[in-house]
Amino acid sequence: MKEIIKTNIANLNMELSRRDFLKTAGGIAIALVAAKCGVNPNSPVFDPTTSLPIPKSTEVVNSLGDYEFIEQSEIITKLAGPFNAFKDDQRIKDLFEDPSTIEYSASGIKVYDINGQPTAYTFFGATSEVEEKGRTAMVFGGDQGEVIYIVLNRMLSSEGNVGLGITQDPVTGNDLEKSLLIFDTGLSEAEVANMTIEELSSRNINFIPGGILVPTEKLLGTKVNAMLISTESLLPQEVKEKFELAEVDITKMENAKYDKDGLHITLPDGEVIVLTNTDLEKNIYLGQDNVLQYRDESNQNVVYAFDPESKTFLEASKYIQKDKTDPEKYIQVANWDELFALWAKEKMFLIPFDPENTYFPPLDKIYRDYDTPTNRIRREGGDEFNSVVVFGRVPDGMNSPFKFVNFVRMIDDTGNIQGYFVSQQVFNVDDKSFSVMHLYTELLSIPQNYADEQTVFLPQLFINKEALSFPPIEVFIAYYKNRGLVDRNGQTPTIKDLVNKWFDSGHMPEELENIPCAFVRKSIH
């Protein structure tokens, strides 16, 4: 059977290469012989070599060549075996999200050559109105009575027209070196995308093996068919590749949809933002871990980021506030749970460092004893690396490995401010990624006056005993005590160990990212 099928495909390929001649002459592109799977072996099935009676319901049309349509009931009767196999084929069902919505159908056509000899062609269809999706399979018969159907895939002709064709070897499943176009709409992707199902179905379509134009609805149905353009195909190629790398299924976004007009994002307040293809081409980027980001024109700020967990585009303004000057604009949380939920999304809105232009000192040069009772006094020695300039100074023309990227305040249910939190983005020199350090202070003046490109905040390695009972920070101290982060002497061994791991590897540990650290102020410039 495999050889028979390969022969049929080879013949089809040969004949299709002569389609210009066939269109002119109205000739036959392929001869399909008797198919006897599941029926009486002595009963021909649309065999052009026999005098098969024309069905009473057949509609005859004179065109480049005469043709007639074969009624579905006749096809299903005579090809019951392969049609039932098509309906039970899990590969077909897997093409749909909900197989229970599939409607199965069959269509056929006889095309007569200039000598009046007919060639019969048969197709099986699977469509879902709910999903607005359809697939069409072409049926082939072998000279030993074998039958095989080949699912046609949407493809473009050499002229750039949308059509359906054979793109895979039916035996091996491998892609064909040269695809075979079976149906040609004569329309570009953009033209098809602007048409409704009804408009597309009402057109004539070029049936290439027969060299004739036929009504689309008669062979491919009036509801949906496989030539409907996937909206994804309208995405600019570079944008499409970024969606794919981010593993964003453009058909399964919860608060966004894409069509010929662009990406429509529905915000929580009901406002709909439309990003055109031009906007997407200029401003779609991939952040860390291939998170999909839409950035502003300056490429300095993320405006929207796609959250793979919720399958939604999130507004950066709900998670990131870079303006340190106005505490009323800070991102506001009520408790630790809300704070950690915020931090879980924070990285999606951060732009990675440029690894080629970001400074980081040799690991053995980092001044590790930056937080001792003596070194808390800002006293700078003569060495390049010291208790104040812990990481040395950023060379001219290079970027700092630290950036202040977010400002948050915690206000409890009674309206009392429990503290301020500063997010500091940190360059990881080992793999060129970034981590985020989270720092706590009870004093608004600290971030407002000192969170700048000249400064680095580093975790405190111990807490003064007096601070352990200092009322303004009791919420913070209680958090530390409840989680074993500080002992009665003010020592913070867990934090100290994590800082040492960071300096040893050049990569800030994830555990340190999830600790709100009291901090000391150092310089980087």
Contact 490, 465 (CB under 8 A): yes
Which tokens is 508 given? 């800030």
Contact 232, 242 (CB under 8 A): no
Contact 303, 296 (CB under 8 A): yes
Residue 284 one-letter amino acid: I
Closest listed residue to residue 333, CA positions, set 384, 406, 226, 248: 406
397 HSE (CA, 13 A, CB side): 1
Question: What length is written for the chain?
Answer: 525
d(CA 446, CA 369): 22
Place of tokens 């990481």: 391
Residue 230, helix vs strand vs coil? coil
Question: Rounded CA gap, 221 and 197, in Å?
Answer: 10
Residues in the chain predicted with pLDDT less than 50, given as ranges, are: 1-7, 9, 14-64
Could you tell me the pTM of the whole model?
Answer: 0.66
Q: Which residues contact 349 (CB under 8 A, 6 or more apart)?
A: 287, 293, 302, 305, 314, 316, 319, 320
Query: What pLDDT shows up at residue 58?
Result: 35
SS3 assignment, position 282:
helix
What pLDDT is stored for residue 20 in this prediction? 32
Looking at residue 381, its pLDDT comes to 59
Helix, strand, or coil (residue 289): helix
pLDDT of residue 116: 81
Find tokens 């009665």 and name the residue: 488
Report pLDDT for 39: 27
Distance CA 525, CA 389 (A): 8
Q: Are 285 and 293 in contact (CB under 8 A)?
A: yes
Q: Which residue has the tokens 């750039």?
A: 160
**Pairing verdict, β 212-215 and 204-207:** antiparallel
CA dihedral 128, 129, 135, 140 (to 10 degrees): 80
**Which of 31, 202, 1, 192 has its CA nearest to residue 111?**
31
